[in-house]
């Protein structure tokens, strides 16, 4: 049948004319459709500044992820997932206040109204829960829901345990051991050891509706498509890899965070140039992380570029393995003094903050370090000479770097500039360039692992939003591989003692004082080459209003709206 | 004929097995931890162990391979590490988008290729031949990635005529504008290759004795073209079959540039997330498509050309 049809077409119907006819028809239809195609999508217009609960138009956001982050309560895709499908659909017991932009976002109560630590047994934390909060499906948020969600993540024997969600959260709450319901609105959390850091870890624990999970046949995959949290947005539509549509939760408990936009469309666009083109073509209103070389062009075309420093560090993490030249503090300090960070800033078109330590210079815990990280090549030369290095005894170091990677900014040109700057004071740098994934996996292996190829430093950026993320995992002796990310095997009894004191100091003011002291000690001891803090640029249409870029990895999109 | 088809189907079994072994080995030999997409870098060792066990990655590789193969034979390609969604469902959703794009690109590429190739062959040596040959050369040499970006800049950013990314939603007509730029971009390579094949095959046939004989008998150009087309069909079909196979495989670059939710885009995401079950599933499915398409073209050629049948 097929054969006779093909034969008929090819041999009897003058196939050249046939092909030409189809071609002509196709071309004409294409031309007609192209001509009839309206200009890029016209977004709903909106009144000036909506009060909340919608009427602020549709805001379409181009994300860097290649898929919509998981929506069941434990987002993947790193902090972008937490930002867009975590903090929008869900709430945590404690979260960051993202309405401020002039200081690193502080922690504030969210679904917990207050908490306390047992004086007799400081492993016991009691949390009072917010009353009157409803999940999107109308069921109550209470202690049972909190216990249910912790079991979902931590209890492998619970019927609703979900390995996939567990993998996203479990490592972010290393302090947690168990939970107990005290009454309908009180829960008690026990930590493995006394740990003041629990409170910093809780923003990553979101709460899904147990009632809705049951209604969906106890199926987390079904819950992904139809999630129910307590957050300011609800999921209206989810098309994997194409879009997620969020709409305001009209019953949201926090009047100050009622969503202003009618709809937020999240669109995964992993390729940077494609994201910029989508913004230029009017297909999205806002893009995350526009490529650095498009920023000036976007700005010249009237798009708003927002940026703000956030808790992020672009460092070299030094090796303290036997034979490493960085074992000498004078050499570490010399390298830090030999770096001209303003030059690196110029290389990035101004899109970085010169680092003066691990934390942002305006972080309340920055303190007053004795060692001032700045550019002073003469002082660097003097320190190197004191340490025994000079023209007759040059210093050779090898550093592991990548050419790209999440949060790595522009690693190759930045590293090459640093290489030149260090060469000027007699430090010869040799790079071992690895695939980003390999470099990242090596982080946990440590400097002495054969895969580290005898390198004296590794260049991986990291978040510094709390003491654990910023310091404990890199500088605590017990964090050496394979326990955590103390790649360089750094060990300093003074630092260890301060970390232990920090873990057991529960009074907020006293805790901050210890944290400051820890930071001051680390800056002075310089276990890193402190280079830069990223500023997280975003580009958006000038019609996008209400956005306040917090000094955080996370941003609040409830105040965002679109005007004409 | 039936025996020939059966024999060819049996030949696909070792090919499929080899593809399965190669794709499983490749994704495991690639740098990086297979679970780095789901395990945060600072996860304690006991947490890593727990997650590795939960995903069955603690078993020896041969055990993992045969377990995967056994399930794959039954149509179960496992579950995506990154999303938890069944791999088969992920692939079938993406295949739909890739089919649409491949058909549109094939339609454009093959029609223009046949048209240009025939014109060039009949008008050999003239300026139109040189123009068409130049276009074909451009088609096979231009980087798709660059062409896609160029078309976006012209038709989306500057002229504001067509959308620059995505597959749209709603009815076919609502989605159609989203198809145009990726389809045009993807059609350039098959257009170039088919043009060159048609040109060389038809030129060769036009110089053959049977065409001289037809001319001597006083047949018109149209009638001669009919005979030439019939004789050129087997080789052109073989090339078109292969090209269609490539198109069905999806293009990582084109689909990524246009965020077109097909298999290439899915593969790109799976590579970056090191989503091994998804990677294995996509590679195996696409390879099987290619094998099936080759079989289909072989059968079609046999039907067209009695010489192949007789041999």
The pLDDT assigned to A564 comes to: 66
The pLDDT assigned to B37 comes to: 65
CB contact under 8 A, B164 and A242: no
d(CA A549, CA A555): 7
A404 part of contact set with chain B, CB < 8 Å: no
pLDDT in tens, A245-289: 999 999 999 999 999 999 999 999 888 888 999 999 999 999 998
The pLDDT assigned to A39 comes to: 36
User: Is residue A20 pLDDT above 60, yes or no?
Assistant: no
pLDDT in tens, A65-122: 888 999 999 998 888 899 999 999 999 999 999 998 988 899 999 999 999 999 999 9
pLDDT in tens, A351-395: 899 999 999 999 999 999 999 999 999 999 999 999 999 878 889
| Better-scored residue on pLDDT, B300 or A359 | A359
User: Is residue A26 pLDDT above 80, yes or no?
Assistant: no
| Better-scored residue on pLDDT, B160 or A123 | A123
Q: Is A87 exposed, middle or buried (0-12, 13-18, 19+ CB in 10 A)?
A: buried
Give the 3-state DSSP-derived string for chain B, with helices as H, strands as E and coil as C. Answer: CHHHHHHHHHHHHHHHHHHHHHHHHHHHHCCCCCCCCCCCCCCCHHHHHHHHHHCCCCCCHHHHHHHHHHHHHCCCCCECCCCCCEHHHHHHHHHHHHHHHHHHHHHHHHHHHHHHHHHHHHCCCCHHHHHHHHHHHHHHHCCHHHHHHHHHHHHHHHCCCCCCCCCCCCCHHHHHHHHHHHHHHHHHHHHHHHHHHHHHHHHHHHCCHHHHHHHHCCCCHHHHHHHHHHHHHHHHHHHHHHHHHHHHCCCHHHHHHCCCCCHHHHHHHHHHHCCHHHHHHHHHHHHHHHHHHHHHHHHHHHHHCHHHHHC
Q: Which of B41, B146, B177 would best serve as a mutation to test chain A binding (most A beta carbons within 10 A)?
A: B41
The pLDDT assigned to A247 comes to: 97
- Among A368-377, A497-506, A544-553, B300-309, which stretch is predicted with the lowest mean pLDDT? B300-309
Percent of chain A with pLDDT over 90: 74
Mean pLDDT, chain B, whole residue set: 85
The pLDDT assigned to A53 comes to: 66
The pLDDT assigned to A6 comes to: 41
The pLDDT assigned to A31 comes to: 39
CB-closest option in B32, B169, B226 to A441: B32
- Please measure the distance between the N-terminal and C-terminal CA atoms of chain A and give it in whole angstroms: 59
Distance from CA of B89 to the nearest CA of A (A): 11
Beta bridge partners of B289: none
Mean pLDDT over A483-491 rounds to 93
Percent of chain B with pLDDT over 70: 94
d(CA B49, CA B33): 13
A170 part of contact set with chain B, CB < 8 Å: yes
Distance from CA of A222 to the nearest CA of B (A): 10
Residue A8 confidence class, pLDDT cut points 50, 70, 90:
very low
Distance from CA of A151 to the nearest CA of B (A): 15
- Among A11-15, A148-152, A184-188, which stretch is predicted with the lowest mean pLDDT? A11-15
Candidates B230, B164, B221; CA nearest to A279 is B164
CB-closest option in A22, A167, A281 to B164: A281
The pLDDT assigned to A19 comes to: 37
| Better-scored residue on pLDDT, B47 or A146 | A146
List all residues of chain A from 177 to 206 with a beta carbon under 8 Å from chain B: none
Residue A54 confidence class, pLDDT cut points 50, 70, 90:
low
pLDDT in tens, B266-297: 988 888 777 888 888 888 888 888 888 778 87
The pLDDT assigned to B219 comes to: 87
CB contact under 8 A, B269 and A66: yes
Mean pLDDT over B146-172 rounds to 89
- Tokens (6 digits) for B35: 């679970």
pLDDT in tens, B170-227: 888 888 999 999 999 999 999 999 999 999 898 888 888 888 898 888 888 888 888 8
Phi, psi of B38 (to 5 degrees): -115, -15
The pLDDT assigned to A2 comes to: 38
The pLDDT assigned to B32 comes to: 64
Q: A522-536, B63-77, B146-160 — which one is most confidently predicted on average?
A: A522-536
Candidates B47, B121, B62, B8; CA nearest to A483 is B47
User: Is residue A4 pLDDT above 70, yes or no?
Assistant: no
Residues 6+ apart with CB under 8 A from A288: A61, A62, A63, A64, A80, A275, A538
Mean pLDDT over B114-135 rounds to 88
User: Is residue A167 pLDDT above 90, yes or no?
Assistant: no
The pLDDT assigned to B269 comes to: 84
Mean pLDDT, chain A, whole residue set: 89
The pLDDT assigned to A497 comes to: 97
Burial state string for B240-257 with b = 16 or more CB within 10 A and e = fewer than 16: bbbbbbbbbbbbbbbbbb
- Among A300-304, A395-399, B237-241, which stretch is predicted with the lowest mean pLDDT? B237-241
Mean pLDDT over A326-345 rounds to 97
Residue A27 confidence class, pLDDT cut points 50, 70, 90:
very low
What residue has token string 């192209």?
A: A34
CB-closest option in B85, B114, B180 to A30: B180
- Please measure the distance between the N-terminal and C-terminal CA atoms of chain B and give it in whole angstroms: 12
The pLDDT assigned to B10 comes to: 84
The pLDDT assigned to A25 comes to: 43
A270 part of contact set with chain B, CB < 8 Å: yes
The pLDDT assigned to B70 comes to: 87
User: Is residue A63 pLDDT above 50, yes or no?
Assistant: yes
Inter-chain CB pairs, A–B, below 8 Å:
187
The pLDDT assigned to A425 comes to: 94
Interface pTM, i.e. ipTM: 0.77
d(CA A532, CA A340): 11
What sign for the dihedral angle of Cα A108, A110, A113, A114?
negative
pLDDT in tens, A408-465: 888 999 999 999 999 999 999 999 998 877 888 889 889 999 999 999 999 999 999 9
Beta bridge partners of B86: B79
Chain A residues in contact with B178 by the CB 8 A cut-off are none
The pLDDT assigned to B309 comes to: 66
User: Quick one: which H or E segment has residue A61?
Assistant: strand A58-63
Q: Among all residues of chain A, which has the CA nearest to that of B161?
A: A39
- Tokens (6 digits) for A60: 């379409």
- Tokens (6 digits) for B196: 């060159």
């Amino acid at each position: 049948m097929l054969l006779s049809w093909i034969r008929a077409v090819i041999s009897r119907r003058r196939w050249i004319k046939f092909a030409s006819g189809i071609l002509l028809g196709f071309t004409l239809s294409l031309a007609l459709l192209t001509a009839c195609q309206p200009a890029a999508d016209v977004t709903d217009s909106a009144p000036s500044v909506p009060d909340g609960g919608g009427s602020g138009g549709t805001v379409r956001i181009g994300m860097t992820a290649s898929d919509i982050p998981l929506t069941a309560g434990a987002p993947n895709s790193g902090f972008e997932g937490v930002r867009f499908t975590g903090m929008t659909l869900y709430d945590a017991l404690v979260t960051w206040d993202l309405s401020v932009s002039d200081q690193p976002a502080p922690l504030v109560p969210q679904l917990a109204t207050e908490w306390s630590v047992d004086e007799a047994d400081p492993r016991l934390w009691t949390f009072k829960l917010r009353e009157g909060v409803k999940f999107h499906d109308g069921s109550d948020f209470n202690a049972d829901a909190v216990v249910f969600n912790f079991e979902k993540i931590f209890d492998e024997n619970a019927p609703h345990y979900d390995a996939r969600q567990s993998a996203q959260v479990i490592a972010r709450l290393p302090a947690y051991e168990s939970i107990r319901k005290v009454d309908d609105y009180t829960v008690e959390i026990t930590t493995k050891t006394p740990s003041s850091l629990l409170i910093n870890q809780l923003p990553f624990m979101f709460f899904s509706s147990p009632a809705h999970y049951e209604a969906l046949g106890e199926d987390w995959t079904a819950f992904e498509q139809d999630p129910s949290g307590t957050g300011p947005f609800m999921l209206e539509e989810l098309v994997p890899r194409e879009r997620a549509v969020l709409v305001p939760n009209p019953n949201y408990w926090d009047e100050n965070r009622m969503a202003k936009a009618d709809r937020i469309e999240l669109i995964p666009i992993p390729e940077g140039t494609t994201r910029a083109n989508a913004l230029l073509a009017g297909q999205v209103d806002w893009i995350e992380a526009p490529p650095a070389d498009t920023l000036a062009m976007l700005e010249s075309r009237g798009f708003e570029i927002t940026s703000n420093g956030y808790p992020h560090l672009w460092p070299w993490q030094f090796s303290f393995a036997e034979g490493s030249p960085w074992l000498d503090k004078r050499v570490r300090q010399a390298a830090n003094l030999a770096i001209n960070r303003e030059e690196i800033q110029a290389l990035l078109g101004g899109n970085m903050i010169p680092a003066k330590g691990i934390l942002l210079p305006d972080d309340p815990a920055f303190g007053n370090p004795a060692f001032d990280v700045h550019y002073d090549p003469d002082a660097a030369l003097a320190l190197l000479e004191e340490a025994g290095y000079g023209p007759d005894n040059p210093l050779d170091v090898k550093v592991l770097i990548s050419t790209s990677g999440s949060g790595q900014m522009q690693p190759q040109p930045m590293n090459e500039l640093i290489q030149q700057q260090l060469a000027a004071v007699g430090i010869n740098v040799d790079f071992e360039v690895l695939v980003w994934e390999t470099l990242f996996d090596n982080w946990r292996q440590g400097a002495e692992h054969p895969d580290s190829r005898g390198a004296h430093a590794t260049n991986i950026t990291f978040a510094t939003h709390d003491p654990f993320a910023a310091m404990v995992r890199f500088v605590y002796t017990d964090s050496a591989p394979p326990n955590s990310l103390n790649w360089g095997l750094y060990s300093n009894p003074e630092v260890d003692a301060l970390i232990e004191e920090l873990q057991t100091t529960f009074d907020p003011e006293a805790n901050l004082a210890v944290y400051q002291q820890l930071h001051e000690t680390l800056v002075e001891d310089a276990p890193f080459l402190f280079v830069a803090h990223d500023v997280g640029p975003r580009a958006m249409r000038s019609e996008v209003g209400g956005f306040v870029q917090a000094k955080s990895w996370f941003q609040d999109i409830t105040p965002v709206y679109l005007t004409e | 004929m039936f025996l020939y088809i059966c024999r060819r189907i049996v030949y696909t079994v070792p090919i499929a097995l080899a593809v399965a072994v190669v794709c499983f080995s490749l994704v495991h030999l690639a740098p990086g931890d297979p679970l780095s997409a789901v395990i945060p870098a600072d996860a304690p060792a006991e947490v890593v162990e727990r997650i590795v066990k939960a995903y069955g990655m603690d078993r020896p590789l041969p055990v993992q391979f045969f377990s995967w193969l056994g399930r794959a034979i039954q149509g179960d390609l496992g579950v995506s590490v990154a999303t938890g969604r069944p791999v088969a469902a992920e692939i079938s959703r993406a295949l739909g988008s890739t089919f649409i794009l491949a058909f549109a690109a094939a339609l454009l590429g093959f029609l223009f290729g046949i048209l240009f190739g025939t014109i060039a062959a009949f008008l050999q040596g003239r300026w139109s031949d040189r123009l068409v040959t130049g276009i074909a050369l451009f088609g096979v040499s231009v980087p798709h990635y660059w062409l896609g970006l160029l078309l976006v800049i012209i038709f989306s950013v500057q002229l504001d005529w067509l959308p620059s990314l995505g597959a749209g939603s709603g009815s076919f007509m609502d989605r159609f504008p989203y198809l145009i730029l990726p389809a045009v971009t993807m059609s350039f390579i098959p257009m170039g290759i088919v043009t060159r094949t048609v040109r060389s095959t038809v030129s060769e046939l036009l110089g053959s004795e049977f065409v001289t004989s037809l001319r001597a008998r006083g047949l018109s150009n149209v009638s001669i073209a009919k005979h030439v087309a019939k004789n050129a069909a087997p080789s052109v079909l073989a090339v078109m079959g292969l090209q269609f196979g490539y198109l069905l495989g999806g293009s990582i670059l084109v689909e990524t540039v246009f965020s077109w939710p097909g298999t290439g885009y899915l593969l790109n995401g799976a590579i970056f997330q090191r989503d091994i079950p998804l990677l294995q599933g996509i590679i195996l499915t696409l390879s099987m498509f290619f094998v099936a398409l080759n079989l289909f073209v072989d059968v079609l050629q046999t039907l067209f050309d009695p010489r192949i049948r007789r041999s």
